[in-house]
């Protein structure tokens, strides 16, 4: 069975080449625009079109399935860019480039290929293809899926589908389907974890000890298959047995804006009419999509649609958006001790509601005892009681991923302060009320930490017990050591960082990490779970990274990552740094980007760590002065010149590290066989200049174009002048192929060594 699917893939590839010679109807110098015919290029059957479609007050470039009523968008080029005006034009130029001419002097590349196209075709499969003069495919939209997978299309390891914002806005939305290197296919909210409490569906087709290359493939019968590099296949979902003629049926898998993975069949008749059927939906309950409702709200179904409702004592953050989450309004210090709590609190309950946040207290007891225990506990803001098990679970806000479970005997009892209720019904001044947007203020010590954090405070005793007396050391840094521990009765492994150096310096690192990583949330940043600030003790609790650091993988492992893995790792790190530089409320300079600070989780996903040296910029700042910090070999020249640092400082460090990723060796190697090999940047530039990069990777099967691209990006990043270095956004665009890379000049470091 497996071999038949591999043969099918090769047949499809052959079909594409054949289609090129037969249906390559879009010639060089062809152009379309948004409002004058033709506004699109159609496939031979007319079922698909490529061109301009309207979004908001402008136009985007994409592919859609043509219907008599309303078209279905299946792919969007550069989906997060703003719509263009009606003056734009899409052109297959005389030199074989597919470009979007936005305005005079402003051109954007749609298809990034190292070869020039001789023609193009909109295929009946929904694939837009560029061919060279030999009728070979040099670029195809199927290789760059957005939120949709069509019959004949596949997703490789490390890629996935990102939902759209809505049915009318095809920018990147909130949910992700990921094809992981361990063979598992996972659904989860963007900027969270593909495992544990964040994932809301997994194919459970894992787990491989080492990364393996897979493809998630949707065939022309509607079957969804997982195919590994040996040609072995596993059926994820069954083929469509109801369709009499698969040639007249198109299958479409979409991750919709609500996080649902849905399979549709489109059956076309000879007169062009089509019947659309929903074949399957994952998950089958819309409320089981984690992240659909925000913090402090729960999902319930009404008229077969999900509705987000606020917990008692809270209200919507944005009254116009039910998915925005809810905030708690209360008077300052309404609970200062247990006795006062008894007279100043009341309960509001919700039946059949459940969430996945672990409680800080879980004991078997009677329901009345559970209520009393929570009422007398200032830390308890809600008690979840399981009548089936007789279990009492006490928790703090904020809570996430909550939904109603009608078939379960759960009851959530929310403790609401009397003053809070009174305050909500009066027009008190701002000095009397404040909005508690998940703010946890550290009260034990003068830290000045009033940032919006969602961290759990731990006692020193808890963390000493969790680490078995700080027994297993994972690593040691300039400010202290990191130990392995377990929480929640051994169910969750954590890394506990104990700051041990002089109080002032350790305090500085503690504050920096709390400020920076406590206020961030991204898939490629290590997650800070909690902290301890007890007397002079300062500890930070992180998620545990089972596969060590990138340094271990590059310099100590017997098996080096293959080229696709190196590319994935480089791109994931770049996206994490881009988040710090441009997507946080306050721009963050990491200041210590190096392989030792890049960790790998259970699924070999990149996690940037160690923010103790990080520097926050003010909203109007682009540069800042600070004391020299970082690691020798990765530090940008401006550190030594006494000039201001900027986000370009991290870009330099990334460039050095990118060379190390490419060649799986350290930047400085004093034991190198020849003097010219000691400094990697100098050695790499010399061979790049001479067109001999392949000599640096002897014995490896390598795509020379990929090797050259990675080296060019790294050489641009390590330019001596910060102004010459690209931004991290440009780095990401160069790596993922959405922008061309010019030849970099010689970096000063490479020229002087």
Choosing from 592, 602, 610, 650, the catalytic residue is: 592
DSSP state for residue 357 in the 8-state scheme: P
Token readout for 280 is 């399957």
Asked if 40 contacts 114 with a C-beta cutoff of 8 angstroms, the reply is no
Assess whether 601 carries a catalytic annotation.
Answer: no
- Using CA atoms, how far apart are residues 633 and 621, in angstroms rounded to an integer? 27
Cβ count near 319 (within 10 Å): 8
What backbone phi and psi angles, to 5 degrees, belong to 751?
-80, -30
Q: What angle do CA 578, 515, 539 make, to 5 degrees?
A: 120
- Using CA atoms, how far apart are residues 299 and 401, in angstroms rounded to an integer? 8
Which residues, in sequence order, are bridge partners of residue 92? Answer: 30, 98
Q: Which residue shows structure tokens 């020249």?
A: 637
- Using CA atoms, how far apart are residues 711 and 686, in angstroms rounded to an integer? 11
Helix axes 563-578, 704-717, angle to 10 degrees: 30
In 3-state terms, what secondary structure has residue 62?
strand
Asked if 177 contacts 185 with a C-beta cutoff of 8 angstroms, the reply is yes
What length is written for the chain? 753
Phi-psi region at 11: left, alpha or beta (left = phi > 0; alpha = psi -120 to 50): alpha
Where does 596-739 show beta strands of DSSP type E?
598-600, 606-608, 615-616, 623-624, 645-646
Q: Which residue shows structure tokens 């904020």?
A: 398
Phi-psi region at 473: left, alpha or beta (left = phi > 0; alpha = psi -120 to 50): beta
In 3-state terms, what secondary structure has residue 494?
strand
Which value, to the nearest 10 degrees, does the dihedral of the CA atoms of residues 443, 617, 609, 357 take? 50
The residues, ordered by sequence, that sit 6+ positions from 319 with a Cβ below 8 Å of its Cβ are none
Asked if 128 contacts 117 with a C-beta cutoff of 8 angstroms, the reply is no
What backbone phi and psi angles, to 5 degrees, belong to 652?
-60, -50
**DSSP line for 583-611:** ISSS-EE-S--SGGGEEE-TT--EEE---
396 annotated binding-site participant: no
Three-state SS string across 532-587, please?
Answer: EEECCEEEEEEECCCCCEHHHHHHHCCCCCCHHHHHHHHHHHHHHHHHHHHHCCCC
CA 442 vs CA 374, 381, 457, 514, 535: distances in Å: 22, 18, 9, 10, 12
In 3-state terms, what secondary structure has residue 503?
helix
- Using CA atoms, how far apart are residues 256 and 73, in angstroms rounded to an integer? 12
Peptide bond just before 207 cis, omega within 30 deg: yes
- Using CA atoms, how far apart are residues 753 and 751, in angstroms rounded to an integer? 6
- Using CA atoms, how far apart are residues 750 and 742, in angstroms rounded to an integer? 18
- Using CA atoms, how far apart are residues 371 and 70, in angstroms rounded to an integer? 54
Q: Which residues of 591-608 are buried (b: 16+ CB within 10 A; e: fewer)?
A: bbbbbbbbbbbbbbbbbb
User: Which residues are marked as active site?
Assistant: 592
Binding residues for ATP: 497
Binding residues: 497
């Amino acid at each position: 069975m497996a071999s038949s699917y591999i043969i099918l893939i090769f047949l499809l590839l052959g079909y594409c080449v054949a289609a090129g010679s037969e249906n390559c109807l879009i010639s060089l110098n062809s152009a379309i625009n948004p409002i004058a015919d033709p506004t699109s290029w159609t496939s031979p059957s007319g079922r698909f079109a490529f061109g301009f479609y309207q979004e908001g007050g402008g136009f985007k470039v994409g592919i859609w399935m043509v219907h008599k009523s309303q078209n279905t968008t299946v792919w969007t080029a550069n989906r997060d860019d703003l719509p263009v005006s009606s003056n734009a034009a899409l052109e297959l130029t005389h030199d074989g480039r597919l470009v979007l001419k936005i305005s005079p002097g402003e051109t954007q590349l749609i298809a990034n290929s190292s070869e020039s196209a001789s023609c193009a075709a909109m295929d009946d499969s929904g694939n837009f293809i560029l061919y060279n003069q030999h009728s070979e495919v040099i670029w195809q939209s199927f290789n760059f899926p957005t939120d949709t997978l069509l019959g004949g299309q596949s997703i490789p390891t490390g890629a996935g589908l990102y939902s759209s914002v809505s049915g009318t806005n095809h920018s990147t939305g909130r949910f992700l389907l990921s094809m992981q290197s361990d063979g598992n296919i996972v659904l989860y909210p963007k900027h969270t974890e593909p495992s544990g409490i964040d994932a809301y569906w997994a194919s459970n087709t894992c787990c491989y000890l080492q990364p393996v290359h897979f493809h998630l493939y949707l065939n022309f019968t509607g079957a969804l298959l997982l195919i590994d590099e040996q040609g072995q296949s596993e059926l994820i979902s069954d083929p469509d047995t109801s369709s009499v003629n698969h040639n007249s049926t198109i299958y479409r898998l979409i991750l919709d804006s609500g996080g649902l993975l849905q399979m549709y069949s489109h059956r076309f008749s000879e007169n062009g009419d089509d019947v659309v059927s929903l074949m399957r939906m994952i998950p089958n309950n819309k409320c089981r999509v984690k992240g659909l409702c925000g913090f402090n709200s729960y999902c319930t179904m009404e008229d077969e649609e999900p509705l987000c409702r606020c917990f008692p004592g809270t209200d919507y953050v944005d009254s116009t958006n039910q998915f925005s989450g809810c905030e708690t309004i209360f008077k300052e210090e309404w609970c200062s001790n247990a006795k006062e709590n008894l007279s100043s609190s009341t309960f509001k309950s919700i039946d059949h509601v459940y969430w996945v946040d672990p409680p800080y207290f879980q004991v078997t007891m009677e329901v009345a005892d559970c209520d009393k225990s929570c009422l007398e506990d200032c830390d308890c803001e809600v008690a979840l009681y399981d009548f089936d098990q007789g279990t009492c679970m006490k928790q703090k806000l904020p809570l996430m991923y909550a939904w109603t479970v009608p078939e379960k005997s759960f009851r959530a009892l929310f403790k609401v302060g009397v003053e809070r209720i009174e305050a909500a019904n009066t027009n008190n001044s701002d000095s009397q009320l404040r909005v508690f947007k998940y703010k946890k203020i550290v009260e034990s010590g003068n830290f000045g930490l009033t940032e919006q954090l969602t961290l759990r405070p731990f006692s020193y005793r808890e963390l000493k017990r969790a680490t078995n007396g700080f027994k297993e050391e994972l690593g040691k840094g300039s400010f202290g050591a990191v130990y392995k521990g377990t929480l929640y009765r051994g169910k969750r492994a954590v890394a506990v960082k104990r700051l041990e150096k002089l109080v002032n310096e350790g305090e500085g690192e503690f504050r920096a990490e709390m400020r920076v990583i406590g206020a961030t949330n991204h898939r490629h940043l290590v997650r800070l779970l909690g902290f301890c600030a007890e007397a002079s003790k300062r500890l930070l609790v992180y998620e545990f990274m089972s596969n060590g650091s990138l340094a271990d993988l590059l310099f100590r492992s017997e098996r080096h990552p293959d080229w696709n893995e190196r590319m994935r790792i480089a791109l994931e790190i770049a996206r994490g740094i881009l988040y710090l530089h441009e997507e946080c409320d306050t721009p963050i300079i990491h200041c210590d980007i190096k392989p030792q600070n890049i960790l790998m989780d259970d699924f070999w996903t990149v996690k940037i760590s160690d923010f103790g040296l990080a520097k926050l910029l003010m909203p109007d700042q682009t540069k800042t002065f600070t004391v020299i910090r970082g690691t020798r070999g990765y530090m940008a020249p401006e550190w030594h010149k006494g000039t201001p640092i900027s986000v370009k400082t991290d870009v330099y460090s990334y460039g050095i590290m990118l060379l190390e990723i490419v060649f799986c060796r350290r930047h400085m190697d004093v034991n190198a066989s020849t003097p010219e090999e000691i400094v990697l940047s100098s050695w790499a530039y010399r061979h790049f200049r001479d067109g001999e990069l392949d000599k640096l990777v002897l014995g490896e099967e390598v795509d020379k174009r990929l090797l050259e691209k990675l080296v060019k990006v790294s050489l641009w990043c390590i330019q001596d002048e910060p102004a010459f270095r690209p931004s991290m956004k440009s780095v990401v665009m160069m790596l993922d192929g959405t922008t061309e890379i010019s030849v970099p000049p010689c970096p000063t470091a490479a020229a002087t060594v």
